[in-house]
């Protein structure tokens, strides 16, 4: 019987850490076309997430997160209530939006292409995130902070959100493509 043991560079392993997303220094935003040439912008105010990152190599190793769907805010209470309702997010029945990577992470210098699964309502779809890890800094309290940006687009119809109004025979009130932009900071919680 023969056993093969993989070798690892121990210096790489010791630079890998979990980072928890700091909601007080992170912005979870989105925009969707409105009236064809404008955008409606919004944010989610409550969310959490975790990043596994190797500071030495600049490699992102894992990413997951959850958003409180009821925390949506487009700066218009009437519209926000509509978005929370059954025609859009249906937050009473589906309170959480979830992302978890699972299939692959492709790396270039400091930037990652992350394939994962996004769940909105009872629809789970594959989605690709472009993740830029800008690097680590130490804050005034001595905490190691990872600065990052995440960008992606999704089609709202893929998640069972079909509501719209016709402006003309060929044009709708809102578009189908939602742009998502997350910018922020994550605090290191341990080192592997």
In a domain, 139, yes or no: yes
CA distance 33 to 150: 20
pLDDT over 90 at 117, yes or no: yes
pLDDT over 80 at 11, yes or no: no
pLDDT of 110 reads: 67
CA distance 46 to 24: 10
pLDDT over 90 at 186, yes or no: yes
In a domain, 11, yes or no: no
pLDDT by residue (tens digit) across 84-115? 999 999 999 999 999 998 667 888 766 899 99
In a domain, 129, yes or no: yes
Number of folded domains that form the chain: 1
Structural domain span for residue 102: 16-191
pLDDT by residue (tens digit) across 12-26? 456 799 999 999 999
Going by C-beta distance under 8 Å and a sequence separation of 6 or more, which residues neighbour residue 109? Answer: 58
In a domain, 9, yes or no: no
In a domain, 10, yes or no: no
Give the side-chain half-sphere CA count within 13 A for 169.
Answer: 0
47 within 8 A of 65, measured Cβ to Cβ: yes
pLDDT of 49 reads: 97
In a domain, 8, yes or no: no
User: What b/e sequence results for 97-114 when a residue is b if at least 16 CB atoms lie within 10 Å of its CB, and e otherwise?
Assistant: bebebeeebebeeeebeb
Phi, psi (deg, nearest 5) at residue 11: -65, -30
CA distance 78 to 75: 9
In a domain, 123, yes or no: yes
The DSSP-derived string for 90-106 is: -TTT--EEEEEEEEEEE
Q: What is the CATH number of the domain that holds 125?
A: 2.40.128.110
Phi, psi (deg, nearest 5) at residue 156: -60, -30
pTM above 0.95, yes or no: no
Rounded to whole angstroms, what are the CA distances from 67 to 49, 94, 121, 189?
9, 11, 12, 20
């Amino acid at each position: 019987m023969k056993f093969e043991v993989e070798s690892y560079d121990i210096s790489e392993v010791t630079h890998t850490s979990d980072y928890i997303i700091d909601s007080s220094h992170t912005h979870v935003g989105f925009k969707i076309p409105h009236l064809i040439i404008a955008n409606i912008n919004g944010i989610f105010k409550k969310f959490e997430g975790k990043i596994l990152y190797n500071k030495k190599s600049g490699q992102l190793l894992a990413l997951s997160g959850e958003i409180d769907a009821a925390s949506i805010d487009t700066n218009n209470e009437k519209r926000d209530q509509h978005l929370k309702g059954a025609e859009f997010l249906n937050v009473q029945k589906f309170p959480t939006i979830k992302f978890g990577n699972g299939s692959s992470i492709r790396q270039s210098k400091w930037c990652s292409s992350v394939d994962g699964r996004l769940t909105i309502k009872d629809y789970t779809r594959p989605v690709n995130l472009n993740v830029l890890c800008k690097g680590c800094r130490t804050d005034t309290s001595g905490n190691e902070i990872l600065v990052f940006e995440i960008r992606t687009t999704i089609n709202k119809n893929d998640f069972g959100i079909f509501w719209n109004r016709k402006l003309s025979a060929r044009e709708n009130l809102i578009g189908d493509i939602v742009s998502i932009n997350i910018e922020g900071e994550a605090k290191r919680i341990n080192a592997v």
